[in-house]
Amino acid sequence: MDDIRHTAIARFRAYLERRQFSAHTVANYTLDLRLFFADVPVPLAQISFREVDQFVERQHHHGRAWATINRRLNALKHFFAFCLEQQWVRGNPVKPSHFVRRGHPLPKALPREQVQRLFAQIAHPMDRALFLVILRCGLRVSEVANLKLEQIDWEQQAVQVVQGKGRKDRRVYMSPDAVAIRDFLGHSQIASSERYAKISSQRIKQEYMRTMQKILKQGQV
């Protein structure tokens, strides 16, 4: 590492200490900067987003976790912001697109035994039908709570899920057992009510929503 970059890192470290960053953060940021510059032959003032791109690619190649990569990018971002204030560089080469977006694990299907225990606790037939739609169609509790008669295509056995302003609607298909909700609707007051009435009416109350969301999230009953 040349003297200019070495001096820049030393001054940045002192800056962090003055700002009362934790000793752990200061040590990690210093190591992250040295790691970055170890493979970058370009002078400090000429470093661009391309060098940062290559750094991220190397981190992925070595199997680094998303949290580690983002921490190192944060170190670089703060470092170059400091260098920009000192007029050692013309811009910050670390861009938002460099940061790794955390992946969300796919939802896991509830085991048959847990589903049976869940439905054993649901007494009302309409509730059972609504929760069956949630499980079989992959709908959110709030989506079923706001589901209207006009959104169900009984002939195609499909549900048009309305997402609201700025979000794309989607169409999902019901399994044969989920279509059984029609039997409950045929014997309810909803069948004779206005076309746009919410199917759930008062059946899914706030406590039902909170309980069901907790059960589906934890996969427990």
Is residue 55 domain-shared with residue 78, that is, in the same domain?
Answer: yes
Q: Is 104 inside any structural domain?
A: no
Is residue 132 domain-shared with residue 208, that is, in the same domain?
Answer: yes
Q: What is the mean pLDDT of each run of 10 residues along the chain (221 residues)?
A: 84 95 94 94 92 93 91 96 94 91 62 75 71 77 76 82 71 75 58 46 52 56 42
Q: Is 93 inside any structural domain?
A: yes
Give the Cα separation of 95 and 102 in Å (integer): 16
Is residue 86 domain-shared with residue 180, that is, in the same domain?
Answer: no
Q: Is 105 inside any structural domain?
A: no
Is residue 67 domain-shared with residue 138, that is, in the same domain?
Answer: no
Q: Is 7 inside any structural domain?
A: yes
Q: Is 36 inside any structural domain?
A: yes
Is residue 209 domain-shared with residue 116, that is, in the same domain?
Answer: yes
> What pLDDT was estimated at residue 212?
59
Is residue 204 domain-shared with residue 118, that is, in the same domain?
Answer: yes
> What pLDDT was estimated at residue 221?
42
Is residue 60 domain-shared with residue 150, that is, in the same domain?
Answer: no
- For the chain, what is the domain count? 2
What does pTM read for this prediction? 0.49
Q: Is 172 inside any structural domain?
A: yes
> What pLDDT was estimated at residue 93?
95
Dihedral angle of Cα 207, 212, 213, 217, to the nearest 10 degrees: 150
Is residue 93 domain-shared with residue 36, that is, in the same domain?
Answer: yes
Helix axes 23-38, 66-85, angle to 10 degrees: 90
Q: Which of 139, 158, 169 is nearest to 131 (CA)?
A: 139
> What pLDDT was estimated at residue 80?
97
Question: What is the extent of the structural domain holding 117?
Answer: 112-218
Query: Last residue of some domain: 73, 98, 123?
Result: 98
Query: Last residue of some domain: 98, 127, 148?
Result: 98
Is residue 180 domain-shared with residue 120, that is, in the same domain?
Answer: yes
**Contact between residue 184 and residue 129 where contact means Cβ atoms under 8 Å apart:** yes
Q: Is 155 inside any structural domain?
A: yes
Query: Last residue of some domain: 98, 129, 163?
Result: 98
> What pLDDT was estimated at residue 157?
81
* φ, ψ of residue 146 in degrees (nearest 5): -105, 10
> What pLDDT was estimated at residue 199?
55
Is residue 77 domain-shared with residue 136, that is, in the same domain?
Answer: no
Q: Is 106 inside any structural domain?
A: no
**Contact between residue 15 and residue 33 where contact means Cβ atoms under 8 Å apart:** no
